[in-house]
Amino acid sequence: MVAEAAGVSRVAVSRAFTPGASIDAGKRDRILKIAAELNYTPDRAARALRTRRSHLIGLVVPDACSPWEAQEIDGLTTVLQEHGFGCVLFKTRTDFELDDAQLRNMRSFNLDSAIVFPECVRPKRLAPYLDRAVPVYIDYMTGPADETLHDRLEVDLRPGLSKAVALVSGYAPSRIAYICGKTESEAEHARREVLRELLAERGLPEPRLLAGDFSYARGHSAALELFRVHGGADVIFAANDESAFGALDAIRYDLGLKVPQDVSVIGFDNISQAAWGAYRLTTVGIDLPARIQSLVRMILERLKHPNARPLCDRITTNLTVRDTVG
């Protein structure tokens, strides 16, 4: 219908509706204008049968509503949609797994790729349900070796955390605490161990570890426990910004202490709320746009070269200094 009205081939019409496809810009505009006049949209199901491409990307996440995950999901879907992809969200159970029924449901979407957060569903378990698709794992740095083909985006924690440790070392702290994230979290494990190494390198004391789960509530109760039971601290590092917010509110409003005069607090992630006037949190962060662009770049490269060796990219961290260290 559109091809006949525009006087072009069906292949040209298909290219006009495919972001990044090779076609003259003027011809694309003419085809899209005629398609709009005819109220035509391509049948994705039919195209998927023909090309074996669904233009769907799975996002496998442990949480869809916490501030960091929400911001990353929002950014990823925005950029992926600009490249002509739709997104299908899969949320794991609290143990970071998907059961067989959920995995079979994932297979039914015939995904072109999947972006998987570090804790979620190992490649060996996921691969049989992705068929030809190759997943991209974020920060997949610890745990047992897995030879199943997958691509990887690594986050270099040392630059940002080393700046944070250097900053607090200038105040010669004798009592340092760390509010942990979930014990099953690989991101938590990596952050904690790198922090301990950096503190040791500067001759600073081992941090007191406080159980946490990345939540505001647990950050709040951990800070109360630290001061009421363990005698307090000069510096508190938190596994993420949300738990740092809880610690800040406990310190200021429940304990009546001042930040940073009585205790310094440093978070991790640099979510947008960290800059809010109520917190002004000093925090180690990741360049989220750079992280998203790297993930999308690997997906596009993998789709061009499906049998290529594992792809790996790396991004770094940095320290944003605000008002909670001094």
Q: Which residues contact 103 (CB under 8 A, 6 or more apart)?
A: 121, 125, 126, 129
Inter-residue contact 60 to 116 (CB < 8 Å): yes
Highest mean predicted confidence (pLDDT) among 22-36, 104-118, 202-216: 202-216
The tokens for 311 are 């792809």
Could you tell me the pLDDT band of residue 20, with boundaries at 50, 70 and 90? low
Ranking 8-22, 86-100, 253-267 by mean pLDDT, the lowest is 8-22
For residues 249 and 23, which has the higher predicted lDDT (pLDDT)? 249
Does residue 48 surpass a pLDDT of 60? no
Task: Set out the domains of the chain in order of their start, with CATH numbers.
Answer: 2-42 (no CATH), 51-156+288-317 (3.40.50.2300), 158-285 (3.40.50.2300)
pLDDT at 146: 66
Could you tell me the pLDDT band of residue 49, with boundaries at 50, 70 and 90? very low
Dihedrals φ, ψ of 104, to 5°? Answer: -65, -40
Inter-residue contact 312 to 152 (CB < 8 Å): yes
Does residue 155 surpass a pLDDT of 80? yes
The tokens for 185 are 């979290």
Q: How far is CA 173 from CA 16, 201, 238, in A?
A: 62, 14, 16
pLDDT at 326: 87
Could you tell me the pLDDT band of residue 143, with boundaries at 50, 70 and 90? very low
Q: What is the pLDDT of residues 95-134, one digit of tens each?
A: 889 999 999 999 999 999 999 987 889 898 998 999 889 9
CA distance 270 to 272: 6
Inter-residue contact 31 to 1 (CB < 8 Å): no
pLDDT at 40: 66
- Give this prediction's pTM: 0.82
Give me the mean pLDDT over the 191-198 stretch: 96
CA distance 266 to 89: 31
- What DSSP state is assigned to residue 232? -
pLDDT at 47: 52
Q: What is the pLDDT of residues 72-84, one digit of tens each?
A: 999 999 999 999 8
| Cβ burial, residue 266 (10 Å; 0-12/13-18/19+) | buried
pLDDT at 180: 97
Give percent above pLDDT 90 in the chain: 71
For residues 24 and 151, which has the higher predicted lDDT (pLDDT)? 151
Does residue 65 surpass a pLDDT of 50? yes
CA distance 230 to 221: 13
The tokens for 286 are 């990741």
CA distance 295 to 274: 24
The tokens for 215 are 């939540």
Q: Which residues contact 271 (CB under 8 A, 6 or more apart)?
A: 67, 68, 71, 241, 242
Inter-residue contact 226 to 289 (CB < 8 Å): no
The whole-chain average pLDDT of the chain stands at 89
Give me the mean pLDDT over the 204-231 stretch: 97
Does residue 317 surpass a pLDDT of 90? yes
Does residue 12 surpass a pLDDT of 90? no
DSSP 21-84: ----HHHHHHHHHHHHHTT----HHHHHHHHS---EEEEEES-SSSHHHHHHHHHHHHHHHHTT
Could you tell me the pLDDT band of residue 243, with boundaries at 50, 70 and 90? very high
pLDDT at 45: 47
Ranking 139-153, 163-177, 255-269, 302-316 by mean pLDDT, the lowest is 139-153
Give percent above pLDDT 70 in the chain: 91
The dihedral region occupied by 50, where left means phi > 0, alpha psi between -120 and 50, and beta the remainder, is alpha
Among residues 288, 271, 279, the alpha carbon closest in space to that of 246 is found at 279
Give me the mean pLDDT over the 273-297 stretch: 96
pLDDT at 57: 96
pLDDT at 289: 93
pLDDT at 31: 78
